[in-house]
């Protein structure tokens, strides 16, 4: 059986009219040469396969390690979410109990007058602004403050400070 590309060497027979006989020695050398090439290719492919299998094993190990890291991070994330949920619930409970306490309800008017909320001046400003919005009260305030221009100017400045742009 011949392989593609393999040629058979033919030698002439002893006499005229006789068929040409193949040179078996040349055929054997060609087949031996082809066999050596195939064995070399097989060896190269075998080495390449071993290298690829080694790389595959390394990638599998790295993949497994990353999967373990991902699972650990997911567990940590769930734990943190649970802790956050617990902290929010506890904060809500403390805030609710704090706002419903008797001391907080009793001191509410004092907190409204504190400097943080504008103090007594803030309360007076809010009351005066509310009164001035009523049309009849605005007219009355003008009538009362007309003889006192300095007081009128101070109240106007206090109630409506100039804009700083």
Same domain, 89 and 132: no
51 and 118 fall within a common domain: no
Q: Please give the angle made by the CA atoms of 17, 27 and 25, to the nearest 5 degrees.
A: 80
What lies within 8 Å, CB to CB, of 111 at 6+ separation is: 117
Whether 22 and 69 share a structural domain = yes
Same domain, 17 and 94: yes
Choose the final residue of a domain: 46, 69, 98. 98
- Domain that residue 81 falls in: 10-98
Check residue 13 and give its pLDDT.
47
Both 36 and 79 in one domain: the answer is yes
Question: Is 118 exposed, middle or buried (CB count within 10 Å of its CB: 0-12, 13-18, 19+)?
Answer: middle
CA distance readout (Å), 41 to 3, 4, 38, 66: 16, 17, 5, 37
Write out the chain's pLDDT in tens, 165 residues.
555 555 555 554 455 555 566 788 889 999 999 999 999 999 999 999 999 999 999 999 999 999 999 999 999 999 999 999 999 999 999 989 888 888 888 877 777 666 666 666 676 777 777 777 777 877 787 788 788 888 788 777 777 777 776
**Same-domain check for residues 91 and 14:** yes
Global pTM exceeds 0.75: no
**What's the chain's length in residues?**
165
Examine the domain organization and report whether 15 and 84 are in the same domain.
Answer: yes
Residues 119 and 90 in one domain: no
Tokens at 146, concatenated = 């007309």
Rounded to the nearest angstrom, the gap between the alpha carbon of residue 53 and the centroid of all alpha carbons in its chain is: 34
Determine, yes or no, domain membership for 2. no
Domains identified in the chain, total number: 2
């Amino acid at each position: 059986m011949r392989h593609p590309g393999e040629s058979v060497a033919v030698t002439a027979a002893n006499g005229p009219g006789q068929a040409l006989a193949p040179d078996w020695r040349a055929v054997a050398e060609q087949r031996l040469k082809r066999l050596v090439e195939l064995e070399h290719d097989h060896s190269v492919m075998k080495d390449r396969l071993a290298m690829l299998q080694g790389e595959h094993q390394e990638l599998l190990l790295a993949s497994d390690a990353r999967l373990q890291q991902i699972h650990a991070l997911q567990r940590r994330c769930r734990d943190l979410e649970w802790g956050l949920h617990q902290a929010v619930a506890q904060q809500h409970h403390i805030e609710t109990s704090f706002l419903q306490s008797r001391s907080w309800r009793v001191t509410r008017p004092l907190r409204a007058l504190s400097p943080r909320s504008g103090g007594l001046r803030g309360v007076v400003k809010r009351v005066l602004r509310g009164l001035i919005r009523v049309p009849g009260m605005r007219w009355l305030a003008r009538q009362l403050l007309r003889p006192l221009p300095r007081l009128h100017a101070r109240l106007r400045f206090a109630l409506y400070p100039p804009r700083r742009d």
